[in-house]
Amino acid sequence: MHTHDATRSSTGDEHRNGEPNELGRRLLIDGRLVATERTFASLNPATGAVLGYAPDATVADAEAAIAAARRAFDSTGWATDTELRVRCLRQLHQALLDHREELRELTIAEVGATRTLTLGNQLDIPIGLVSYYAELLESHPLTEELPEIEARGQRHRRWVEKEPAGVVAAIVAYNYPNQLALAKLAPALAAGCTVVLKGAPDTPLITQALGELIARYTDIPAGVVNVLASSEVSVGERMTTHPDVDMVTFTGSTAVGRRIMAAAGETLKRVFLELGGKSAMVVLDDADFDLTALFAAFSVVTHAGQGCALTTRLLVPRARHDEMVAKVAANFGHVRYGDPGDPKTYMGPLISARQRDKVDAMVQRAVAAGATLVTGGTKVDPGFFYTPTLLAGVDPDSEIAQEEVFGPVLVVIPYTDDDDAVRIANNSIYGLSGGVFSASDERALAVARRIRTGTMSINGGNYFAADAPFGGYKQSGIGRESGVAGLEEFLERKTFAAVIR
């Protein structure tokens, strides 16, 4: 990440002159928008040019944000004032709607998301998370009565109350920054928690833009939400180890998730982890191969393959392996990549030169290990583009079939029968998502139920929505985001008993 040491003043104007980096140039700490002496560059991945400069928080800034969140949780009525929380969530939802087009342009420019994607999971759908949790808060029972019991000659009333978990450190990845931030922030605020939110160093401006909207357009009290950006790993490390943080919610790689879980263990923090995936799409022998090939090709290159739940392993009957490979390769030839701002573009760039180099190195190692490069495997400049890449005849135990690539790369793996397909699908440290295609919904569902993964698509079914819990088995994570389960992640249970007089 490039750094830039000059102090950047902030005028408070929003999106002035149509420049996307006018939003989000300051930290939000204890209700104040704070400029920093150091800033770091955020690049436009479609061009490689500097888009703008983000505030570069220090460990001291992180400690100030945590102290503010601790104070707001311990000494204000935020944790107990349900009406205030509902009102503030609705204000935030309205602010996001009012500034949606500004956020859309910033998301396209900084994230490299296509315009079409911002109409869905990159922006418009995540905005709906805020209204969803405002409505859920009004109806979700925070008290549960248990049956009365008799003990020691007396009757006892018993009940359970749900309370906020406390101060939350929320750290998000670069690939879907609006979705990831709001999927943590909205339920945490609904639960009554206070939050320190840190954006990814590759996409800091969009998360800081969210902080500015909170500061300007909501009644969220000072300290309840703090938003940081930093190029320093030490800032995130401090957030996950500070004794005043009660809970850590993190979305990112499994490798980093392991370190966070280990660090949080020192103070036994609650941990939510949404980590990597190597999901399998199982094509049964009676499936529509033309439809499945189309779905497999265009889904795996969504956001240039930078999605943890994408089905990056395509499992096909051995007798029809070559047929499926040819169909997918033909579909890859129709994927239009380039300027993400063009409504006709289907695939944008990878986030950085570093990520593109990582993807390319994995592809080259796969070919060296015996996989067949059918199409793709090419870097395209300017920007950080990588052509849709298809690898055939892949060994299910090889690196390319086991490790998350996070690029537009699909591997085709042959199997012998349904049991073998299930075995290969489960042959992974991950368990985030998957799909099964068959002419029979019942047969597809029977296979899907045997695969150990947190979400499953039957014949292309879409599970992604505000009310659907999302998360993984095994090393794909701990806990669930979105839905009622997403709210419950941020709640503690306290059991009461009282003698009935």
Angle between helices 177-191 and 100-111 (to 10 degrees): 130
More confident residue, 237 or 18: 237
Average pLDDT, the chain: 94
pLDDT digits (tens, 9 = 90+) for 331-366: 999 999 999 999 999 999 999 999 999 999 999 999
- 12 pLDDT exceeds 50? no
The answer for 235, left when phi > 0, alpha when psi is -120 to 50, beta otherwise, is alpha
Per-residue confidence at 15, pLDDT binned at 50, 70, 90? very low
pLDDT recorded at residue 8:
29
pLDDT on residue 7: 29
pLDDT (0 to 100) of residue 210: 97
Which pLDDT value is given to residue 415?
A: 98
Active-site amino acid positions: 274
With 90 as the cut, is the pLDDT of residue 5 above it?
no
The pLDDT value recorded for residue 355 is: 98
Can you give the pLDDT at residue 23? Answer: 45
Q: What is the pLDDT of residue 25?
A: 77
pLDDT at 56 > cutoff 50: yes
Cβ contacts of 218 within 8 Å, gap of 6 or more: 88, 91, 92, 95
Enumerate the β-bridge partners of residue 150.
Answer: 155
Residue 223 clears pLDDT 60, i.e. is over it: yes
Per-residue confidence at 14, pLDDT binned at 50, 70, 90?
very low
Q: Which residues pair with 3 in a beta bridge?
A: 40
Percent of the chain with pLDDT over 70: 95
Whether the pLDDT of residue 112 is over 50: the answer is: yes
Q: Is 135 helix (H, G, I), strand (E, B) or coil?
A: helix
Single pTM value for the model: 0.94
